[in-house]
């Protein structure tokens, strides 16, 4: 209960940053636009369309989180409020978790709303598990991606001046996407074309083809359940490590001032 | 609350020793903590608040050692802390911020949190702006939000670092009156460079210099350190050599200096010492 109250206060702080909302909502709509190919993602009633949308939501809106969350770990130290929070009977890790949970709850709201809308749309088109599947996709793919992007941002914000940190964290996010979500597909002419590889959890649980371009799906081996688990756990673990490092770095820099 | 420091020491890498073998008993009531820059005041307060750990020695709060995590946690439940540089979250209103601090301090009853937040805002004169965001407040108003947060949860130990720095005279007087009303059964540690604030609010004072304790005791005792050593010179073109200047008043004939010195400068008259004179007599030695 106490954790929820702390998270709520931090959600309120994040909710009042209009730029955060605007960027997040705009990129969610862009994700929708990217995948709409004549039809909306729910009109077929096919879960693969929903999974494709979830993948877009895990790739594009985090660019906004990467740019916007640079203050996540450093602002308490910068404002001096970190000292007061440290003097309270709350474990620093719990407080940091509440801060991240509160901020993410706000920035993820547009993604969750759109995904759920599509889930309910699928329900209307015969996929009775649509809303539940949307929630699972959100929890396993969209939320961990947002957490990771926010962690990149928080770490960059703790290590670099704010303006540089925004560029650095967006660049880091795009580099991470390039390294993990693109797969080279040989072309008949002997060259190589890069296609978007689908998320292992979406492949395993919802049958999304390994490469999002159906015509190139033959080019990659489907992910195993173990790979799906490793993908989710790995993202969360990296994010937690980055957030912990960002917290330590911010405190150390604050102590030196 | 009775706080006892035993041979307390704190080292930072590549820096002079911040605290050096500090042994001291702090009574309840208002305690002034004074000393020049780098004397170790902020370090001592951070240790007392459980934010920093001493390198040597120990701190006992009501007989319990603060090196134990459970004791530290218990102390933090009864602690109010106002650091020197604090900007409450600008996107929150003072009411929301105080409620957040109440949550952090373990106040689980929402109604009680709200009641206490409202009462404290009234006490610091911010009740009419309780629903405006802190981001639009002046420095003095933010400082008042700061002291209100320190008082959330009715702490038994209150630690305030330079609370009146940067405030205009009216704000300072208001703050001083508020601080003076807080003593009583609590222990209030007030760190400041403004000796007048200590003279007006604290019956007990500790003086630190270079991480060591120079004086602890009644304010009157510190004043006595300059008794028989405080002088006012006739108008002079330059300060007398070998004397510590406590004050200077320009006159048409020259500057009249108030000095602390063992030997009176030529033509100087003895003067009744103040806390400032006592402090200078001790620190400038």
Cα-Cα-Cα-Cα torsion A236, A241, A242, A245, nearest 10 degrees, comes to 160
The answer to whether B223 touches B275, Cβ cutoff 8 Å, is yes
Last residue of a domain, one of B173, B198, B218: B218
CB contact under 8 A, B99 and A1: no
What would the two tokens of residue B93 be? Answer: 């209103």
Kindly list the averaged pLDDT for each block of 10 residues, start to end, along chain A of length 257: 90 85 79 69 76 89 87 83 88 89 90 90 86 94 93 92 89 89 79 83 86 72 86 93 90 66
Q: Which residues of B touch A (CB under 8 A)?
A: 46, 49-51, 73-74, 76-77, 79, 81-92, 96, 99-101, 103-106, 108, 133, 149-150
Q: Which comes out higher in pLDDT, residue A1 or B55?
A: B55
B149 and B242 share a domain?
no
Are B25 and B80 members of one domain? yes
* Number of other CB atoms surrounding residue B77 within 10 Å: 14
CB contact under 8 A, A13 and B89: yes
Question: Quick one: B206 and B259 in the same domain?
Answer: no
| Shortest distance, CA B11 to any CA of chain A (angstroms) | 13
Q: Looking at the structure, do residues B41 and B150 belong to the same domain, yes or no?
A: yes
Binding-site residues on chain A for chain B (CB distance < 8 A): 1-2, 5-6, 9, 12-13, 16-17, 79-81, 83-90, 95
User: Could you say which of B218, B246, B273 is where a domain stops?
Assistant: B218
> B247 and B121, same structural domain?
no
- Please tell me the predicted confidence (pLDDT) of residue A234: 93
The rounded mean pLDDT for chain B is 88
Q: Of B218, B242, B268, which residue is a domain's last?
A: B218
Q: Which domain holds residue A176?
A: 2-256
* Interchain pair A9, B83: CB under 8 A: no
Q: What is the ipTM of this complex?
A: 0.84
Residues B249, B116 share a domain? no
Q: Mark yes or no for CB contact B73/A89 under 8 Å.
A: yes
Please state the domain count of chain A: 1
Around A33, how many Cα atoms within 13 Å sit in the side-chain half-sphere?
8
Three-state SS at A196: strand
A221 min Cα distance to partner chain B (Å): 49
Domain total in chain B: 2
pLDDT per residue as tens digits for the range B130-188: 889 999 998 888 888 998 999 998 898 999 988 887 778 888 888 888 887 876 778 89
Q: Is the pTM for the entire model greater than 0.80?
A: yes
> For the residues B82-101, what does the mean pLDDT come to?
91
Record: contact B104-A86, CB cut-off 8 A: no
d(CA B102, CA B114): 9
- Do B139 and B198 reside in the same domain of the chain? yes
Q: Which of B76, B88, B95, B104 to mutate: most A Cβ within 10 Å?
A: B104
**Residues B68, B104 within the same domain:** yes
Per-residue model confidence as pLDDT tens digits over B34-49 = 998 888 898 999 999 9
Contacts of A98 (CB under 8 A, 6+ apart): A3, A6, A7, A10
Distance CA A139, CA A120 (A): 17
Q: Are both B145 and B255 inside the same structural domain?
A: no
The percent of residues in chain B predicted with pLDDT above 70, rounded, is: 99
Count Cβ–Cβ pairs < 8 Å, chain A vs chain B: 70
Is B89 found in the same domain as B17?
Answer: yes
The reply to whether B170 and B231 lie within a common domain is no
Please tell me which of the candidates B49, B74, B88 has its beta carbon nearest to residue A87.
Answer: B49
Structural domain including B43 reads 3-218
Q: Are residues B165 and B249 in the same domain?
A: no
CATH number of the structural domain spanning residue B212: 3.40.50.300
């Amino acid at each position: 209960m106490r954790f929820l109250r702390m998270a709520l206060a931090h959600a309120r702080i994040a909710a009042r940053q209009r730029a955060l909302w605007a960027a997040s909502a705009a990129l969610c709509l862009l994700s929708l636009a990217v995948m709409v190919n004549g039809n909306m993602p729910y009109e077929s009633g096919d879960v693969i369309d929903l999974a494709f949308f979830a993948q877009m939501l895990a790739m594009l809106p985090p660019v906004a989180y990467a740019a916007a969350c640079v203050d996540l770990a450093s602002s308490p130290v910068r404002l001096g409020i970190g000292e007061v929070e440290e003097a309270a009977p709350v474990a620093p890790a719990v407080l940091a978790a509440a801060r991240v949970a509160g901020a993410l709850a706000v920035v993820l709201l547009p993604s969750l709303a759109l995904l759920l809308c599509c889930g309910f749309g699928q329900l209307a088109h015969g996929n009775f598990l649509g809303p539940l599947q949307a929630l699972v996709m959100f929890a396993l793919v969209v939320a961990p991606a947002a957490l990771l992007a926010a962690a990149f941002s928080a770490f960059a914000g703790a290590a670099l001046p704010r303006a540089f940190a925004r560029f650095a964290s967006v660049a880091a996010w795009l580099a991470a996407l390039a390294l993990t979500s693109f797969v080279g597909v040989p072309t008949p002419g002997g060259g190589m074309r890069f296609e978007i590889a689908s998320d292992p959890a979406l492949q395993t649980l919802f049958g999304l083809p390994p490469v999002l371009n159906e015509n190139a799906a033959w080019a990659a081996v489907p992910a195993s359940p173990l790979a799906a688990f490793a993908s989710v756990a790995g993202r969360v673990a990296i994010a937690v490590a980055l957030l912990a490092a960002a917290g330590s770095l911010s405190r150390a820099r604050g102590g030196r001032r | 609350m009775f706080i006892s420091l035993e041979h307390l020491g704190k080292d930072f890498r590549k820096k002079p020793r911040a605290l050096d073998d500090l042994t001291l008993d702090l009574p309840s009531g208002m305690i002034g903590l004074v000393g020049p820059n780098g004397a170790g005041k902020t370090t001592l307060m951070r240790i007392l608040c459980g934010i920093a750990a001493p390198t040597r020695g120990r701190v006992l709060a009501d007989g319990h050692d603060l090196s134990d995590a459970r004791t530290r946690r218990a102390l933090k439940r009864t602690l109010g802390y106002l650091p020197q540089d604090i900007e409450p979250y600008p996107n929150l209103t003072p009411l929301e911020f105080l409620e957040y601090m109440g949550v952090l301090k373990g106040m689980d009853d929402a109604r009680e949190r709200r009641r206490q937040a409202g009462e404290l805002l009234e006490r610091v004169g911010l009740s009419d702006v309780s629903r405006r965001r802190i981001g639009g407040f002046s420095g003095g108003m933010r400082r008042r939000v700061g002291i209100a947060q320190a008082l959330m949860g009715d702490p038994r130990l209150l630690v305030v670092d330079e609370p009146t720095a940067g405030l205009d005279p009216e704000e300072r007087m208001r703050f001083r009156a508020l601080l003076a009303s807080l003593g009583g059964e609590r222990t209030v540690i007030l760190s400041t460079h403004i000796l007048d604030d200590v003279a007006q609010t604290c019956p007990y004072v500790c003086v630190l210099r270079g991480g060591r304790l120079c004086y602890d005791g009644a304010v009157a005792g510190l004043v006595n350190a300059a008794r028989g050593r405080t002088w006012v010179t006739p108008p002079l073109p330059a300060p007398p050599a070998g004397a510590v200047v406590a004050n200077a008043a320009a006159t048409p004939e020259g500057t009249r200096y108030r000095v602390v010195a063992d030997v009176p400068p030529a033509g100087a008259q003895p003067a009744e010492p103040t806390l400032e004179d006592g402090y200078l007599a001790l620190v400038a030695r």
